[in-house]
Amino acid sequence: QRRHVAHFTFQPDPVPTQYGPTQKMNLFQSVTSALDNTLATDPTAGILIFGEDVAFGGVFRCTVGLRDKYGKDRVFNTPLCEQGIVGFGIGVAVTGATAIAEIQFADYIFPAFDQIVNEAAKYRYRSGNLFDCGKLTIRAPWGCVGHGSLYHSQSPEAFFAHCPGIKVVIPRGPVQAKGLLLSCIADMNPCIFFEPKILYRAAVEQVPVEAYTIPLSQADILQEGSDVTLVAWGTQVHVMREVANMAQEKLGVSCEVIDLQTILPWDIDTVCKSVVKTGRLLISHEAPVTGGFASEISSTVQ
């Protein structure tokens, strides 16, 4: 079976009006804005941002200017050790501070797998709710980019979807990226926030300047339809939007397009209600087919 790189066109959302003034931002700038809003809420060391090269702005410039604005004690580099980055973040969060850790690429999150799955996810449960690291958020660039090869193109969300105690979130664009990231930071559970790296500069929208949140575990119905339900997350949402338009124009098929947004815990109700209406379901993701999160969705719906 031959596979080919799929082309897609980013489709911006309508300008949000409910959150105040907006500014043109791409996805990495919306992430920076969210982190800036967060740091501004606490002048002390109660909020820390750390990771490989974040003091210099990060390889994708998501933290550019934050060290100069808020100080080297709040935005700082770490050694090249993902296990240490997450382990440090767990410790910071347990003390009550807000820890925002960056893993430079999602492909490199696996050395930290034990810390995430066996420590962060289980801290509250194994202590009988005496302690928790709910103020930990882990950010990581995610997904294919077209030239990333094997160590800069992976989509590992399904590995973490098997683990109760954490939340896994993937946005489709700048507006969602800021609102969902701020929700992850405010949430009292450890969260993994995967950022589609191909959209860092390709995705541009009018993003609210002030802080706002978008609910976690709530899928977004982008287009209503009656013949088939199309479900995706991250970059593939835009592929599905194109598919929906093609199906309508060429086949007369009415597609309902859903952005899952949160992988864990996912919005079963919205997806199942849609499939009850349409009678058909098509799921698309970038990750390998075997054991992908589409399997979980399809088995639940079935």
71: how many CB neighbours lie within 10 A of its CB? 13
Helix/strand/coil for 197 = coil
Contacts by 15-21 with C-beta closer than 8 Å and gap 24+?
15/205, 15/206, 16/175, 16/206, 16/208, 19/208, 19/210, 19/212, 20/208, 20/209, 20/210, 20/212, 21/208, 21/209, 21/210
Query: Is 296 one of the annotated active-site residues of the chain?
Result: no
Catalytic residue among 82, 205, 256, 296: 82
Q: Fill in the DSSP letter of residue 46.
A: T
Does 286 participate in catalysis according to the annotation? no
CA distance 270 to 292: 20
Q: Tell me the one-letter amino acid at 278.
A: T
Give the residue from 51, 180, 45 showing the smallest Cα distance to 106.
Answer: 51
Q: How far apart (Å, rounded) are the C-alpha atoms in residues 259 and 262?
A: 9
> Which DSSP symbol is given to 249?
I
Q: 262-264 and 167-169 as β-strands: parallel, antiparallel, unpaired?
A: antiparallel
Apex CA 260: angle with CA 254 and CA 265, to 5°? Answer: 145
Q: Which of 52, 102, 119, 152 is catalytic?
A: 152
| CA-closest candidate to residue 222, choices 6, 10, 13 | 13
Catalytic residue annotation: 82, 152
